[in-house]
Amino acid sequence: MLELVALGTDTATATAVGARLGGTVYVNHPAESDSRPFSAVVRVPTDEIEAVASVADVGLYVAYARPVKVLAGPAPADRVIAAFGMVGHPDLTHRESDDHWRDVHGPLALRMHAAMCDYTQLSVVAVLSGLPLDGIALCAFASREDLSTKFFNDDEAKAAIQADVASFADLRRSIRRVVVTEA
Question: Alpha-carbon distance 4 to 56, whole Å?
Answer: 10
Q: How far is CA 139 from the centre of its chain?
A: 7
Give the helix/strand (H/E) hosting 96. Answer: helix 94-100
Per-residue b or e along 115-130, where b marks 16 or more CB atoms closer than 10 Å to that residue's CB: ebbbbbbbbbeeebeb
Let me know: does 124 contact 136? Beta carbons within 8 Å: yes
How confident is the model at residue 34, as a pLDDT? 64
Question: At 109, which CATH number?
Answer: 3.30.70.100
Domain total of the chain: 1
Q: Torsions phi, psi of 143, nearest 5? A: -155, 165
Residue type, position 166, single letter: A
Question: Alpha-carbon distance 62 to 126, whole Å?
Answer: 5
Q: Is the pTM of this model over 0.75?
A: yes
Residue type, position 132, single letter: P
Mean pLDDT by 10 residues, the chain (183 residues): 95 96 94 82 96 97 97 90 96 98 98 96 98 97 94 97 98 92 91
User: Domain range spanning residue 12?
Assistant: 2-182
Question: Alpha-carbon distance 77 to 63, whole Å?
Answer: 27
